[in-house]
């Protein structure tokens, strides 16, 4: 995949922020330097996940408005070298202009191997801003019709924006629930409905919530982290298996 990746979904709560953080961590563990930009204005959470919530003085809207220099709004993770974050503003009214956001990312991109942009839910202006500087995308979905509909809407918008390098992440997958729901015959039908090539199949894994609640310091080995390591390799173009570790 290309090196500026927007993580989007359409439907809320599919796991965009979790995928953004776990992919960033996996890329850093594979010796890449990563900037994770939280683009979810008003609903920021990535600073909590990376344990830097008390450090943040400036967010990306400060950089954009000129309240600080661009690099003053970038913070290093306490837990990992080579992992950096730019936080979203707390204020939901703080809409960020897509062109100015693109200028910001273009200025910062020379410092990093990968920039991961965590998009807000929906396909409105927040998503338009998040995808503006991206040259590739991960669409995160759960294996259910409402979520797939969001993925299709997102894919169409990405394609309109000339982003063709797109991978589908099916997250929180649980075989028993999937079979009981009986909405799709098999996973191929889910992938066909989304119209996006599958790049990761992440199991439902309760331990992954530790990242949300305790930050990445609490991130130990789990079935999902194994999949995220494979996702990071696939993002870099390696031909490795999906490594689904669920039941
Ligand atoms: N693979 C997984 N297994 C179990 N729980 C998960 C998994 N991925 C995410 N979750 C949980 O699902 C919830 C929503 O995840 P997350 O906040 O990453 O979604 P989101 O798409 O970023 O949401 P929003 O649309 O609000 O930004 C969180 O409680 C998270 O811990
Ligand atoms: Mg989120």
| pLDDT band of 208, cuts 50, 70, 90 | confident
Spacing, Cα 140 to ligand 1 middle (Å): 10
Ligand 1 pocket, mutate which of 13, 36, 88, 226 (most atoms under 8 A from CB): 13
Verify whether ligand 1 is closer than 6 Å to residue 49 (CB atom).
no
pLDDT at 48: 85
Verify whether ligand 1 is closer than 6 Å to residue 222 (CB atom).
no
Domain boundaries, the chain: 4-235
pTM given for the model? 0.96
CATH top-level class for 4-235? alpha beta
Ligand 1 pocket, mutate which of 15, 21, 49, 212 (most atoms under 8 A from CB): 15
Verify whether ligand 1 is closer than 6 Å to residue 171 (CB atom).
yes
Spacing, Cα 15 to ligand 2 middle (Å): 7
| Rounded average pLDDT over 169-198 | 95
C-alpha dist (Å) from residue 85 to 53, 117, 183: 11, 10, 38
pLDDT digits (tens, 9 = 90+) for 120-134: 999 999 999 999 999
pLDDT at 220: 72
pLDDT digits (tens, 9 = 90+) for 35-75: 999 998 878 888 888 888 899 999 999 999 999 999 999 99
Sheet holding 114-118, edge to edge: 75-76, 83-86, 34-38, 114-118, 4-8, 136-141, 166-173, 198-203
């Amino acid at each position: 995949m290309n090196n500026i990746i927007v993580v989007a979904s359409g439907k809320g709560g599919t796991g965009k922020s979790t995928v953004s953080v776990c992919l960033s961590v996996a890329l850093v563990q594979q010796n890449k330097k990563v900037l994770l930009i939280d683009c979810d204005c008003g609903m920021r959470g990535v600073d909590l996940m990376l344990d830097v919530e008390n450090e943040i003085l400036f967010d990306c809207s400060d950089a954009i408005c000129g309240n600080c220099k661009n690099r003053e709004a970038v913070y290093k993770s306490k837990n990992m070298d080579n992992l950096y974050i730019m936080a979203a503003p707390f204020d939901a009214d703080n809409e960020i202009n897509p062109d100015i956001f693109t200028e910001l990312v273009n200025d910062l991109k020379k410092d990093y191997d990968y920039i991961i942009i965590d998009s807000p839910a929906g396909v409105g202006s927040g998503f338009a801003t998040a995808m503006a500087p991206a040259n590739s995308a991960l669409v995160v979905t759960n294996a259910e019709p409402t979520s797939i509909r969001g993925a299709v809407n997102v894919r169409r918008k990405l394609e309109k924006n000339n982003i063709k390098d797109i991978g589908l992440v099916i997250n929180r997958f649980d075989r028993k629930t999937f079979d009981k729901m009986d909405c799709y015959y098999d996973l191929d039908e889910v992938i066909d409905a989304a119209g996006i090539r599958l790049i990761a199949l992440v199991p439902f894994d309760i331990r992954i919530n530790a990242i949300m609640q305790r930050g990445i310091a609490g991130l130990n080995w789990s079935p999902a982290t194994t999949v995220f390591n494979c996702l990071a390799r696939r993002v870099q173009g390696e031909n490795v298996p999906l490594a689904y570790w669920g039941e």
